[in-house]
Amino acid sequence: MEKIYSFVVHKKLKTNNNLNMKKLAVVALGGNALLRAGQEGTIEEQQKNVFTTIKFLFDLITLEHNFIMVHGNGPQVGNILLQNHAGAKVHGIPEMPLDVCGAYSQGFIGYLIEQQLRNILPSKDLEKGVVNLITQVLVDKNDPAFKKPTKPIGPYYTKEEAAKLAVDTNSSFIEDPDGIGWRKVVPSPFPKQIGNSKVIEKLARDGHIVVAAGGGGIPVYYDEQKNLLGIDAVIDKDHTSALLASQINADEFYIFTDLKRIVIENGSAEGKVLDVIPIAEAKKYLKEGRFSAGGMAPKIEGAVSFIENGGTECIFIHFPDTPDEPVYQTRIVR
């Protein structure tokens, strides 16, 4: 595939700027951390969730870091698709393809994150620029994922509701492994290159907070005439975050999740709680299919990818449900 300048993988920038002496962290925030299961999805709910998330983030990632935030968009992009479908059905408004809906979600969620960052920064006595970058991510249009949708998006439905929507919208639905309900699934190709990664790294190392590659990035590919085109898919944000962290030589990689502990069945009622997972063990569990394709598997795969490409460790951090709840962490290490 021919590369254009903004997609070229590059080496770490070298500069004497003191800000660049700080550690560079990539932080992956799940879409469910911004819109929780069971919520209606009102703007007030999402503003509150984002504020809580950012405050929690600042309590853990301190002044020793420059960082880049990559957010998920599973619930939001699914809702945008439904709004598109309803507008077309009721008012005849042309429906937008999935890549455009992903771009909508990048702007919408990035706006919320930037706004709440600007509300929190003064209380931390910090003056930082906050930059949102609408980010395109190259994928292979022949990726096998296009023939087997696995990425859950949108709200949860009952089995009966999902069956009706599958017919009405020509979509596929699967049951959540935790039994919460049924969700729409779409293709999730593997990211190949992050657009404007040099710009993202430069801004972050200069001390700005960068929100980039939201929702895993807008999936794009080059046609035979070398024109850049969008394609119907949602890239997993954990795979994209890991690739970005590797491309920019990030020092640390964090994945924030609503999952408290990573547990593997071992014959006991409680199972085996994994607090530290050596990379060889993580790869073994992946090969055995111990993690769900639409849930924990891409997160573990992202962690493994980051470490195999030079990273030291990936840290999974659980969002506490209450202020008194302990902060659970799991580390994937060499």
Residue 282 three-state SS: helix
Catalytic: which of 49, 151, 196, 217?
151
Asked about 151 being catalytic, the answer comes back as yes
Catalytic: which of 30, 73, 102, 237?
237
Asked about 30 being catalytic, the answer comes back as no
Asked about 141 being catalytic, the answer comes back as no
Contact 126, 157 (CB under 8 A): no
Residue 248: half-sphere exposure toward Cβ, Cα within 13 Å? 31
Phi/psi of residue 227, nearest 5 degrees: -90, 140
Residues 6+ away with beta carbon under 8 Å from 244: 26, 68, 70, 194, 197, 200, 212, 213, 250
Asked about 159 being catalytic, the answer comes back as no
Catalytic: which of 49, 299, 302, 311?
299
Catalytic: which of 32, 202, 260, 283?
32
Q: Single out the residue of 11, 63, 332 nearest to residue 202, CA to CA.
A: 11
* Strands across the sheet containing 209-212: 130-133, 209-212, 65-71, 23-29, 252-257, 313-318, 329-333, 276-278
Asked about 237 being catalytic, the answer comes back as yes
Catalytic: which of 31, 78, 154, 216?
31
Catalytic residues: 31-32, 151, 237, 299
